[in-house]
A = this chain, B = another copy of it.
Amino acid sequence: MANILDSVKSRIYVSPMTSFETPGKMLRRRGDLREALISAGIELLAEGGLEALSLRRCAARAGVSHAAPAHHFKGVSGLLTAIVARGYEKFTNTMIEEREKTVDEPRARLEAICEGYLRFARENDALFVLMFSPQKLDFEDQDFIQQAEAAYQVLVEGCAPFRHGSAGSRGTEIMIWSLVHGFAVLSRRERKGEADKMVPDIRFEQILPQLSLKWSSKQ
């Protein structure tokens, strides 16, 4: 663990003012550093997990001083929120990608979306955790709200052909989302050795409540 973090912080900051590569263009174009900081954050997250992510480290990796991010984000929460928004974008794409790979049949599509959900959680562990972290995020951020809503919408569409109990398709959405999210969290916990073999080798399809999903006559 220490090794990972050491290697993460090993890239030291060199002032761009003394840079030999681009002696003419000293300052970045607007929006450039913003993107660089987000990318740096996602990299750090993937390499060293949540512990490796900090404002100062993002700045160092992007090649700027520790106070530079303040000109592009409202504090750490601003940066983290931007990273998370980017995460939701990728999240949405993963679910859609998985859905498009399958046949055009409601049940198969919904299962594929869930598979996308779980694959994203598996492949982007730290990012996934951060995306559902209740702390340090700016939940008022418009970009965040939009991207999170878009991700949810994929699942909503996948649930639309189904109805569940008296709550209709609204209930189906919530049930499926709860189920798949809970399953993702629990699988993650076991995968990381944070819990003992609670989820053995059970696939999500076996967990889906098969009988309770009924075709809705409407739409």
**A interface with B by C-beta (< 8 Å):** 50-51, 129, 132, 134-135, 137, 139, 145, 148-149, 152, 164-167, 170-171, 173-175, 177-183, 185-186, 188-189, 192-196, 198-200, 202, 206-207, 209-212
Residue among A175, A180, A192 with most chain B CB within 10 A: A175
Asked if A134 contacts B189 (CB within 8 A), the reply is yes
List, in ascending order, chain B residues with CB within 8 A of A185's CB: 132, 178, 181-182, 185
Choose among B134, B165, B183, B195 the residue that contacts A206 (Cβ–Cβ < 8 A).
B165
Of all chain B residues, the one with the shortest Cβ separation from A198 is B152
Describe A's contact surface by its main secondary structure: helix
Of all chain B residues, the one with the shortest Cβ separation from A136 is B51
With both chains docked as a complex, state the minimum distance between the C-beta of A154 and any C-beta of chain B, in angstroms: 13
Q: Beyond A50-B135, A174-B202: 8 further Cβ-contacts under 8 Å?
A: A152-B198, A164-B207, A166-B206, A170-B202, A171-B206, A171-B207, A185-B185, A211-B212
CA distance A202 to B196 in the complex (A): 32
With both chains docked as a complex, state the minimum distance between the C-beta of A217 and any C-beta of chain B, in angstroms: 18
CA distance A9 to B195 in the complex (A): 34
With both chains docked as a complex, state the minimum distance between the C-beta of A161 and any C-beta of chain B, in angstroms: 17
Of all chain B residues, the one with the shortest Cβ separation from A186 is B178
Q: List 21 A-B contacts (CB under 8 A).
A: A50-B134, A129-B134, A134-B192, A148-B195, A164-B209, A165-B210, A167-B206, A167-B207, A171-B206, A174-B199, A178-B178, A178-B180, A178-B186, A178-B207, A181-B185, A182-B185, A185-B185, A209-B209, A210-B212, A211-B212, A212-B212
CA distance A8 to B181 in the complex (A): 34
With both chains docked as a complex, state the minimum distance between the C-beta of A146 and any C-beta of chain B, in angstroms: 11
A182-B177, A207-B167, A209-B175 are contacts. A139–B193 as well, Cβ < 8 Å? yes
Of all chain B residues, the one with the shortest Cβ separation from A140 is B193
With both chains docked as a complex, state the minimum distance between the C-beta of A22 and any C-beta of chain B, in angstroms: 38
